[in-house]
Structure 1
Amino acid sequence: MSELKRRIKSVPLIDNSNDKVKENHKTPVQKYNQISLRLLSRVVVVISFIVIIYFTANNEKIKIFAKQSDQISGKSQYLKCSPQYLNEIDKFNGCVPHKCKRFVADTVVSLKDVEGLLSIAKKGFQYGRSLGGASILDLHSGAMSKGQVFINIYESPYMKQLFTEEDFNLYRSVKEKVKHTIATHFGIEADKLHLTSPTFISEMTSKEPVTLHDEYWHPHIDKETYTSFHYTSLVYLSNYNIDFTGGRFTFIDESFNTTIEPKKGRLSIFTSGHENLHFVEKVQSGTRYAMTIAFTCDSKYAIHDPSVKKYNIPSKTVK
């Protein structure tokens, strides 16, 4: 989710004495603005330098939690729940985790499921994609990246009936597998979990960002970004170091970074609070596909499963 450099045209030479006169006639506001801009630019440079040093230092202390070459039946890393997360989720009986943690498994989602989800993604993205390096397809809202904006796939005449009931059945099947895995491994009741928005398939490439939506690599906390989230899950649809390079998923911990290398069919689940600050590395080459499936304990944020009924939106009358 780099700034484009602009060419600076050369200006005619002018008499230096005129420059001095102009400088002397600058208003206090102009002089203040000039000083403020210089100060601001220096502050930005210093902050950027500090951030680079911090993440570089942390990157030297990387713990690989799940390698692409590993076959993991189930692996957990337990964490202390953040107070903010516990205070908020505690009001939802039957939905509070026994412990906050991260969980990875390669045995929940089959390769057949993965190929089906990839087919859905590619069917959609052939009619869209961002100009930058990150595109999303949200089958619930219909939002899909196209250029610098989002279009609604259910309203586009070019995508009428593009997705079939079979596609949506597969989508629901994978969602249910993930939901019950969360319930089992976090010790909560499955019927207390509700699918929430945004839930989407992402496609990431090494293209330079064009909009802020393309800058996916910034560290963030899901609960801060999306109020409804309580449990975050990711299903990877492509292989690290085979289909793409870069693009690893990294948790930022106090002493080191904990990294997950994407693998087809790999499921990653974690609590969405401050205990799981994370980022995705920039993709260096190839194409990275993944599906984000979010769950909430708050029924008011629940969303319905997508279906072909979405296409029954009345056509807008053109006057």
Structure 2
Amino acid sequence: MAPQRRAGSRTPESGGAGAGARAEERRRLSSGVKGSVQKDSRRKWLKVAFLLSSAMLGYLLSGSYLLGEDGVTEVLAHQGESLQYKFIEVPCSEDYDSHKRFEGCTPRKCGRGITDAIISREEAERIRRIAEKGLSLGGSDGGASILDLHSGALSLGKHFVNMYRYFSDKVHDTFTEEDFHLYRDVRQRIQQKIALTFGISSSSMYLTKPTFFSRINNSEAKTAHDEYWHPHIDKVTYGSFDYTSLLYLSDYTEDFGGGRFVFMDEGANRTVEPRAGRVSFFTSGSENLHHVEKVHWGTRYAITISFTCNPDHGIGDPVLT
């Protein structure tokens, strides 16, 4: 006889079905919780990614980096800002080892500096007028004209002439003693700033050649001298150079387009935007490979003033004779 079941008792089958239903319910609840956690996690990561992307986009649009024909360019100094002082140290190259070293002057600390605080815009305008007066006597047929007050070298057509001999009767009508005094004063201030930055004595540095005014426009190059845009290393081009400086006499985007100064580092091009009165200076070795962008419109004025540690390569300040 089959055993009788008591009321309310459960068979193994019915108990198994109930347990299975409860287990399935727990799985659904667990799956829902996990899904909710995963969704919250995804939302958090999406929010973080969005914030990071927005920050990067803002950084890019701020102008700290520009994407140009030469790749990514970091702007070290914008034309519209006035910098008291900025210095970026870079490792020295071995270029100085192939030349005689002068203790207390030959670079052991290398880098590049920028300041708008030692030459005023009013002084820069006065200095530019010196360049304009001198270059009115000549000028290159191509895009780059040079005026060297020290040697008298002046661009004239496709050649150079000695301004003091070629225009001897006009030189005193063109320049004044005050022009040359201002030029010397500016050179001394730049020399002192370089010496202070690199921890050397200004008396151990000597002005060296070539030191010159440049006027650049968008005229087609006629000779190799007009092709100013090629990358180069000052210490390789001019073995006497140890420290190079540039004093800008006109404003990027206002007086001319293009024509920025570009330090060419591995993986990045770092730019200085010219501003009247701005001084950019740097050690002259291959740690500071550089070039100037082509000028697209307008006219760019600057002075290159260079220094050596070797007294044998030193030159005196120009004088009006």
Query: What's 1:92 paired with?
Result: 102
Please tell me whether the aligned partners of residues 78 and 102 of structure 1 are also in contact (alpha carbons under 8 angstroms): yes
Task: Select which of 306, 309, 314 maps to 1:294.
Answer: 306
What is the one-letter code of the residue matched to 1:64? V
Q: 3-state SS of the aligned residue for 1:94?
A: coil
Q: Hey, what does 1:140 align to over in structure 2? A: 150
Paired residue for 1:150? 160
Match of 1:262 in 2: 274
Find the aligned partners of 1:206 and 1:57 in 2 and give their Cα distance. Answer: 19
What is the one-letter code of the residue matched to 2:117? T
**Superposition RMSD on alpha carbons, in Å?**
1.5
CA 1:66–1:86 in structure 2 vs 1: closer, same or farther (change >3 Å)? farther
Distance across 1 between alignment mates of 2:137 and 2:320: 18
Q: What are the residue-to-residue correspondences of 1:193-204 with 2, within 5 Å?
A: 193-204=205-216
Find the counterpart in structure 1 of residue 126 from structure 2.
116
**Who is 2:76 aligned against?**
65
Q: Deviations over 1:105-148 (max 9, x none)?
A: 00011122211211111111111000000001000000000101
Contact 2:96–2:106 (8 Å) recurs in 1: no
Question: Secondary structure of the residue that 2:306 maps to in structure 1?
Answer: strand
Query: Of 195, 220, 227, which residue of structure 1 is paired with 2:232?
Result: 220
Deviation string 1:236-264 (CA, Å, 9 cap, x unpaired) is: 00000000000000011001000110000
Aligned-residue offset at 1:84: 2.0
**What is the letter of the counterpart of residue 83 of structure 1?**
E
- What is the identity percentage for the equivalent residue pairs of Structure 1 and Structure 2? 50
Any idea what SS the aligned residue of 1:308 has?
Answer: coil
Residue in structure 2 matched with residue 159 of structure 1 by the alignment: 170
Counterparts of 2:75 and 2:245, CA distance in 1: 18
Q: Which amino acid aligns with 2:309?
A: C
> Could you tell me how far 1:292 is from its partner in structure 2?
0.2
Q: Is 1:238 the counterpart of 2:245 in the alignment?
A: no
Aligned residues: 253
Which of residues 74, 78, 90 is equivalent to 2:85?
74
Distance 1:120 1:160 in 2: 12
Out of 266, 271, 277, the position equivalent to 2:283 is 271
The amino acid across from 1:193 in the alignment is M
188-197 or 92-101, which deviates more: 92-101
Tell me the CA shift for residue 98 of structure 1. Answer: 4.8
Residues 249, 260 of structure 1: 8 Å contact kept: yes
Rounded Cα–Cα distance in structure 2 between residues aligned with 1:256 and 1:307: 42
Greater radius of gyration (CA): 2
Contact residue 240 and residue 246 of structure 1 kept, 8 A:
yes
Work out the CA distance in 2 between the residues paired with 1:157 and 1:88: 38
Give the C-alpha shift of residue 60 in structure 1: 2.5
Shift of 1:223: 0.6
Measure how far apart 1:164 and its partner are.
1.4
Runs of at least 5 residues in structure 2 that lack an aligned partner in the other structure = 1-66
1:106 to 76, 93, 116: 116
CA offsets, 1:165-214, max 9 Å, x none? 11110000000000000000011111000000000000000000001000
Unaligned runs of 5+ in 1: 1-55, 310-319
Counterpart CA distance in 1 for 2:142 and 2:95 is 34
Opposite residue 232 of structure 1, the aligned amino acid is: T
The whole-number CA distance in structure 2 between the counterparts of 1:280 and 1:212 is 15
